[in-house]
Amino acid sequence: MNTANDLLTIRNLTTSFRIKETYHAAVEDVSLSLKKNEVLAIVGESGCGKSTLATTIVGLYNPVNTKVKGEIFYNNQNLTSLNDEQFNSLRGNDIGFIFQDPLSALNPLMRIGEQIAEGLMYHTKLSKQQRGERVLELLNQVGIAKPERVARQFPHQLSGGMRQRVMIAIALSCKPSILIADEPTTALDVTIQAQILDLLKALQSETETGIILITHDLGVVAEMADRVAVMYAGEVVEEAPVQELFTNAKHPYTRSLLNSIPQTHSENERLEVIQGMVPSLVNLPREGCRFSARIPWIDASAHEKTPQLHEIAPGHFVRCTCWKRFRFEGGEGGGTV
Amino acid sequence: MEQQNNEMVKFENSPPTGMQVVLREFKKDKLAIISFLGITFLIIGFLVAAMFLNQEEILKIKLLERYTEPGVNGYKLGTDEAGRDMLGQLVIGAKNSILIAFAITIITSIAGIGLGIVMGYYGGFIDNLFMRITEFFMTLPNLMVIIVFVTIIPKYGIFELILIISLFQWMSTARLVRSKALSEGRRDYVSASKTMGTSDFAIMFKGILPNLSSILIVELTLNFAGNVGIETGLSFLGFGLPPSTPSLGTLVNYARNPIVLSEKWWVWLPASILILILMLGINYVGQALRRAADAKQRIG
Residues A126-180 have pLDDT tens digits of 899 999 999 999 998 888 888 999 999 888 888 888 898 899 899 888 888 899 9
User: Which residues does chain B have within 8 Å of residue A107's beta carbon, measured at their own beta carbons?
Assistant: 189, 193, 207, 210-211
Q: Is the pLDDT of residue B74 over 80?
A: no
Averaged pLDDT for residues B208-219: 88
Mean pLDDT for the stretch of residues B126-130: 93
Q: Across all residues in chain B, what is the average pLDDT?
A: 85
What per-residue confidence (pLDDT) applies to A220?
87
Is the pLDDT higher at B143 or at B6?
Answer: B143
Q: Which of A55, A104, A118 sits opposite B196 (nearest CB)?
A: A118
Rounded average pLDDT over B26-55 = 89
Q: Is A101 an interface residue toward B (CB < 8 Å)?
A: yes
Query: Among the listed ranges A266-275, A322-331, B133-142, B247-256, which one has the minimum average pLDDT value?
Result: A266-275
Per CB-CB distance under 8 Å, the chain B contacts of A64 are 124-125
Nearest to B195 among A89, A97, A107 (CB): A97
- Residues whose CB is less than 8 angstroms from the CB of residue B79 and which lie 6 or more positions away in sequence, other chains included: B62, B65, B66, B67, B68, B85, B86
As a 3-state breakdown, chain A gives helix, strand, coil percent values, each rounded to 5, of 35, 25, 40
Measured between CA atoms, how close is A235 to chain B, in angstroms?
Answer: 25
pLDDT of the residue at B107: 95
Strands A227-232 and A178-182: unpaired
How many alpha carbons fall within 13 Å on the CB side of residue B47?
Answer: 10
Q: What is the pLDDT of residues A318-335, one digit of tens each?
A: 998 888 888 887 665 444
Q: Is the dihedral of CA A97, A102, A108, A112 positive or negative?
A: positive
Question: In chain B, which residue's Cα lies nearest the Cα of A90?
Answer: B197
The contacts found for A9-12 with CB under 8 angstroms, 24 or more apart, are A9/A33, A9/A34, A9/A71, A9/A72, A9/A73, A9/A74, A10/A53, A10/A57, A10/A70, A10/A71, A10/A72, A10/A73, A11/A70, A11/A71, A11/A72, A11/A73, A12/A69, A12/A70, A12/A71
Asked if B197 and A64 come within 8 Å (Cβ–Cβ), the reply is no
For residue B13, the chain A residues in CB contact (below 8 A) are 157
Question: Which amino acid is located at B126 in the chain?
Answer: I
A88/B199 CB distance under 8 A: yes
Cα separation, A212 vs B295, in Å, equals 40
Across the interface, which of B124, B188, B211 has its CB nearest the CB of A64? B124
Task: Calculate mean pLDDT across residues B210-239.
Answer: 88
Write down the pLDDT at residue B10.
Answer: 47
Interface test with B, best of A88, A122, A146, A167 (most B CBs within 10 A): A88
Return the half-sphere exposure (C-beta side, CA atoms, 13 A cut-off) of residue A140: 7
Residues of B in contact with A110 (CB under 8 A): 207, 210
What are the φ and ψ backbone dihedral angles of B106, each rounded to 5 degrees? -65, -50
Q: Nearest 10 degrees: CA dihedral of A271, A272, A273, A274? A: 180
Q: How far apart are the first and last CA of chain A?
A: 25
Strands lying side by side in the sheet with A22-35: A22-35, A6-19, A66-74, A77-78
Closest CA to A303 of A322, A317, A284: A322
- Would you place residue B9 in the very low, low, confident or very high pLDDT band (cuts 50, 70, 90)? very low
Residue A42 CA from chain centroid, whole number: 5
Q: Does A147 touch chain B (CB under 8 A)?
A: no
pLDDT > 60? residue B11: no
A107 closest CB neighbour out of B125, B207, B213: B207
For residue A75, give the 3-state DSSP assignment.
coil
Average pLDDT, chain A: 86
pLDDT band at B173 (very low <50, low <70, confident <90, very high): very high
Per-residue pLDDT, A241: 93
What confidence score (pLDDT) does residue B4 get?
46
- pLDDT the model gives residue A266: 61
Q: Once rounded to an integer, what is the mean pLDDT over residues B25-35?
A: 88
B contact set with A (CB within 8 A): 6, 10, 13-15, 17, 124-125, 187-189, 191-200, 207, 210-211, 213
Which chain B residues contact residue A119 at CB under 8 A? Answer: 196-197
| Integer angstrom CA distances of residue B258 from A5, B19, B82, B238 | 93, 49, 17, 16
Which residues touch A269 (CB under 8 Å, ≥6 apart)? Answer: A263
Q: Is A123 on the interface with B (CB under 8 A)?
A: yes
Q: Which of A108, A122, A170 sits opposite B211 (nearest CB)?
A: A108
Give the residue-averaged pLDDT of B70-93: 80
Lowest mean pLDDT across A191-195, A273-277, B91-95, B161-165: A273-277
For chains A and B, what is the number of CB pairs under 8 angstroms? 76
- Regions of chain A short of the pLDDT cut 50: 1-2, 333-337
Span of B68-77, B129-138, B149-158, B240-249 with lowest mean pLDDT: B68-77
Query: Of A55, A88, A156, which is closest to B197 when you measure between CB atoms?
Result: A88
**pLDDT score recorded for residue A337:** 39
Distance CA B231, CA B278 (A): 13
